[in-house]
Amino acid sequence: MNTQQQPDEKTIEAVGKVTEALETVERARGHLYSFHQLTGSADLELGRAVELLAEAGHHEEAERLRTELVGRNVLPGRWTFQVVEDYDAEYYAAFRELEQGVRDRLTGGRRHLAEAAMKEDRRTHGREHHEATPADLQG
């Protein structure tokens, strides 16, 4: 597509939805990293609890937790870092690449066209703090 040509409203809406879906995937990825870090922290805390149980003389309980839960896979064959790596490689990377391709072909790579139009419609032209872009700031 010619990057000087403005896409039609349906195209802008459709591409915007693809980008919005990617933004949701970005949020999901953040939660996945939280899951990874929280699970790792829990495993370390559990390790400390096992030590305390053993020091308190509860060797059977400590041993059961140590052998059955400390360092356990969260999914078959996977710790959380492997879940994150697989998500990044198999889903996230493909989603980003395909979203970029749609934008490149249909909007000349431009993002947030609907939001830019909304901003232009809602801002007060000529008013401080209502500039269209950072380049429009009066210095």
The span from the CA of 39 to the CA of 94, in Å, is: 26
pLDDT of residue 136: 84
Residue 134 lies in a domain: no
pLDDT of residue 138: 62
Q: What domain count does the chain have?
A: 1
Parts of the chain with a pLDDT under 50 = 1-3
pLDDT of residue 3: 46
pLDDT of residue 74: 97
pLDDT of residue 135: 86
Per the structure, the complete domain to which residue 104 belongs is given by: 9-108
pLDDT of residue 2: 46
pLDDT of residue 133: 86
**Length of the chain measured in residues:** 139
Residue 100 lies in a domain: yes
Buried b (16+ CB within 10 A) or exposed e, 67-83: eeeeeeeeeeeebbeeb
Residue 82 lies in a domain: yes
pLDDT of residue 139: 57
Residue 3 lies in a domain: no
Residue 40 lies in a domain: yes
Nearest residue to 73 via CA among 87, 84, 60, 83: 83
Residue 113 lies in a domain: no
Residue 139 lies in a domain: no
